[in-house]
Structure formats: structure tokens, C-alpha cells
Amino acid sequence: MGALADLLPPPSIGSGALLGVGNAIAGAAGLAVAPAVAVRSALPPAPVVPPGVQLSLLTGAPNLGAGNAGNFNTGVGNNGDFNVGANNVGSRNFGTNNVGSRNFGSGNQGAFNGGINNRGAGNVGIGNTGYAIAGFFNSGSGNVGAFNTGDNNIGVANIGIPNPLGSTAASAVGKPSSGATAKQTNQTAAADD
């Protein structure tokens, strides 16, 4: 066994090479992450979880973990744009309970959301509130689906059937009736005199 050990290189050669490869990878990663870190610095820190809590070795955006503040994060409770996970705040998030526009998931708030129980305009899903929504149990005008209320709906309960609660449904979603608009205009004109 001693002769075989003499043929192998000393262990210090492998550890030095590994350190050099690790430094090269870290340097290239730093160049790729620098633009995202500059964008991240404009965002406020996460209010509940400190920004330093990570599930990965990354310390700047894009981060992988929970409670991160910045852009391009993956995890839970992130704050910023393009996040993937739950309880994110920002635009174009993917997950559950996101706040912002163009979110995908359930319980989102904002415009152009896709999923269940969203609020806003242009949503697609079940139980949404707003205008131009496609799905079930929606409120607003221009909806497509079943059991929608409002104007210009296409669905099981709305095609060819007069809505007996038309004015009530329209006012329930915030759409003023033509009589209310005329009355408000007359009151405004009288107040200006």
C-alpha cells in the first residue's frame, strides 16, 4: 500500500484546484448578479422577515429562499417583482395570496390575475370581482361564464334571460345607473351656481 500511496499526488494539489474552480464560479456569478442587485437596492426591506434569511447560498437578487426582498426571488414571503412562491408582493408573481398585477394563483389582488378568488379587472377564474372576467360566480359587466351578474354577460344564467335584479347587480359592482348619473350631474350643476 505504501508504494501505491507514493504514486498518487499529494492531497494539497486537489484542494488547491478545487478552490480555484470555486473562485472562478463565484466571480462569474457575481458578474451575472450585479445588475439584479442594483435593481434590488431600490426596494424596501421585507417588513416581517429580515432580508438576510436565506435557504440558499445567494445573498443578493436573484435569491432562493424565504423572506427575501428584491427581484427574481423564489420562495415564501418575498417582496418585489417576478417572485415565485406564496405571499409575495409585486408584479407578475406566481403563487398564492400575491398582491399586484398579472399574478397567477389563488387569492390574488390586482388586474390581469389568473386563478381562484381574485379581485380586479380582467381576471380569469372562479369567484372573481370586477369587469371583463371569465369564470363562475363573478360580478361585473362583460363576464363570460355561469351565474354572473351585470351587463353583457354570456353564461348559463344570463343568456336570453332578463336579469330581474339588473340595476341591483350593476350597483353592487360599483356601476352607477343612468338615473344616478343624471341626478349626480344635476346636483353638481346646482352646487356650482
Q: Assign 9 to helix, strand or coil.
A: coil
Q: Any idea which of 86-90, 119-123, 183-187 has the lowest mean pLDDT?
A: 183-187
Burial classification of residue 118, based on how many CB atoms lie within 10 Å of its CB (0-12 exposed, 13-18 middle, 19 or more buried) = buried
Amino acid 192: pLDDT: 46
pLDDT band at 94 (very low <50, low <70, confident <90, very high): confident
Highest mean pLDDT among 42-51, 131-140, 178-187: 131-140
d(CA 37, CA 43): 10
pTM (predicted TM-score): 0.40
SS3 of 77-142: CCECCCCEEECCECCCCEEECCECCCCEEECCECCCCEEECCECCCCEEECCECCCCEEECCECCC
Contact 33, 41 (CB under 8 A): no
pLDDT band at 114 (very low <50, low <70, confident <90, very high): confident
Question: Cell 361585473, residue?
Answer: 140
Q: What is the mean pLDDT of the chain?
A: 60
Contact 101, 114 (CB under 8 A): no
| φ, ψ (nearest 5 deg) of residue 68 | -85, 150
Question: Cell 399574478, residue?
Answer: 103
Highest mean pLDDT among 12-21, 57-66, 106-115: 106-115
Amino acid 185: pLDDT: 47
d(CA 132, CA 134): 7
Contact 180, 174 (CB under 8 A): no
